[in-house]
Amino acid sequence: MSVKAKKRKGPTTTKVKEERKVPEVKLIPVYIMGKRYEVPEGLTLMKAMEYAGYRFIRGCGCRGGTCGACGTVYRKPGDYKLQVALACQKTVEPDMYVTQIPFFPANRAQYEFAELTSAPEEVFKLYPELFRCVACNACTKACPQGIQVMDAISALKQGNIAEASRISFECIQCGLCTSRCFGELAQYHMFQLARRIYGARILPRAEHLAEMVKAINEGKYDDILNELKRVKKDELEKLYREREEEPVTAGEDWKPRDTTYL
């Protein structure tokens, strides 16, 4: 009985897996609600708080710097001055003391907007505390948006609703101005009312908008809308994907090739 000799294998080659290099993360100390934590450098205040174990049930909102729900007050070491920011935008700094003010209890007037006119007295009547402003400018210093809050209040006191609306246009209702106000005004609520009155009662109506509303009421789009309602979902998605889109660099005079429904 013959036995076949086993073939001798060559030297075994083992692939050494390259060790995955984990980037080093620098931890820095911050004080959140009075307690010291070590958090990664570069995080926003909101992410640093979550890293430290805080769970946001409220006070986080959009996380994009537009809703004003994460108003934050902080102080740097060795600095007497209180700083303000939005927790979703400001990044952590070593040894900073942080606390959030996601809501500040401020007077918000109740009104039926349909009954309001464009008269400045509408604001005066709903917010008589407007005239308690002592022009200290603490509100402006507390605004994370850089709005000239005192100037907008001054415009309201002068009855200039349009100017107050223009100045306060970027207000995100965080309430930090109110938290620092000696006169205890609710500036952001006043600005909201001013912008509503301006948009509905003062701002000139767009002619093309009136024309469009008229066309809708006359049934110009009824046929195409009914036709689209009958289209199957797949076909509707195809129509949407293949639609002609306005180029990013298009000028104000751009129009689509098919102007049937303009």
CA distances (Å), 122 to each of 44, 101, 146, 198, 213, in order?
A: 41, 30, 27, 12, 29
Please report whether residue 33 resides in a domain. Answer: yes
Please report whether residue 144 resides in a domain. Answer: yes
pTM given for the model = 0.74
Same domain (yes/no): 96, 108 = no
N-terminal to C-terminal alpha carbon distance within the chain: 95
If one counts the domains in the chain, the total is 2
Give the DSSP per-residue string, 73-125: EEE-TT---EEEEETTTPBP-TT-EEEE-S----------GGG--S-THHHHH
- Among residues 67, 83, 100, the one where a domain terminates is 100
Same domain (yes/no): 214, 157 = yes
Same domain (yes/no): 109, 176 = yes
Q: Which CATH number belongs to the domain containing residue 43 in this structure?
A: 3.10.20.740
Question: Which domain covers residue 170, as residue numbers?
Answer: 104-233
Amino acid at 162: A
Please report whether residue 256 resides in a domain. Answer: no
Same domain (yes/no): 170, 201 = yes
Residue pLDDT tens, the chain, 262 long = 333 444 445 555 555 556 677 678 899 999 999 999 999 999 999 999 999 999 988 778 899 999 999 999 999 999 999 999 999 999 999 999 999 887 888 999 999 999 999 999 999 999 999 999 999 999 999 999 999 999 999 999 999 999 999 999 999 999 999 999 999 999 999 999 999 999 999 999 888 888 999 999 999 999 999 999 999 999 999 999 999 999 989 888 898 998 887 7
Same domain (yes/no): 56, 158 = no
